[in-house]
Every structure is written in C-alpha cells, then in structure tokens.
C-alpha cells in the first residue's frame, strides 16, 4: 500500500475530491495547512503599509491506496489540481506497512 500526501490549492480541492470519488476513492483526510515553496509568499499593501506574507494557505489531502492504483491516482490529482501557475503544489508518496480498521479489526488492503 502507498500513502499519497498532496499539497494543493484550496480552490482545487472540490475538483480533486469529485474526480477521486468518481474513481472509487472515498476515504481521505483533508487538512488546512500553511506553507511556501517556489512562490516564496506574496506582498500586499494593508492600510498603506507593505507586508510580506511568506506562508500561504494550502490544503493537504492524504489517501492510502493499493499499490496497483498509484499511477492512476497520481494522474487524477495532477490533472485536477493543475492550474499551470507557480503554487499548484506537490505530491509525496510513502510506503504503508499496514492498515487496521478499528471497528472490525480488518487489516491490510481490506481495511482501506
């Protein structure tokens, strides 16, 4: 199994969720996060003063999937999250040793 962590724009979350749902991926964890990458933040004027905001709001989507669906799910996330501008986000992939459904005790891919 693999765990996918996708850091994406907040505005693209609904499109990613819908596309994953259409492909039978329903279990996910979504967290609102702050971060910066190549964007290095932005500068804004507020009441005549210039402020630099170097942590921008993003969304982290975490999904655990079977190994054989990895490329398919990555392609869906990339397609739906991409705007073509700096700040579209990143995807990180981790191996998952086991998963356990607390309610039933089910383990492995059956638990996801």
In this structure, are strands 29-35 and 2-8 parallel, antiparallel, or unpaired? unpaired
Give the whole-angstrom CA distance, residue 95 versus residue 23. 21
Task: Place 39 in a pLDDT band, splitting at 50, 70 and 90.
Answer: low
CB 55 within 8 A of CB 41: yes
pTM: 0.84
Give the phi and the psi of residue 10 in degrees, each rounded to 5. Answer: -60, -35
More confident residue, 48 or 44: 48
Confidence (pLDDT) at 62 = 98
Confidence (pLDDT) at 42 = 63
> 2-111 maps to which CATH number?
3.30.70.120
């Amino acid at each position: 199994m693999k765990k996918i962590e996708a850091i994406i724009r907040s505005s693209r979350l609904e499109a990613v969720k819908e596309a994953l749902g259409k492909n039978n991926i329903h279990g996910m964890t979504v967290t609102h996060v702050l971060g910066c990458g190549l964007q290095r933040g932005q500068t804004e004027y507020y009441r005549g003063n210039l402020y630099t905001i170097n942590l921008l709001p993003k969304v982290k989507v975490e999904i655990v999937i079977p190994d054989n669906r990895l490329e398919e799910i990555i392609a869906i996330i990339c397609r739906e999250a991409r705007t073509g501008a700096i700040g579209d986000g990143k995807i990180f992939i981790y191996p998952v040793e086991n998963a356990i459904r607390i309610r039933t005790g089910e383990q492995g891919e059956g638990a996801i």
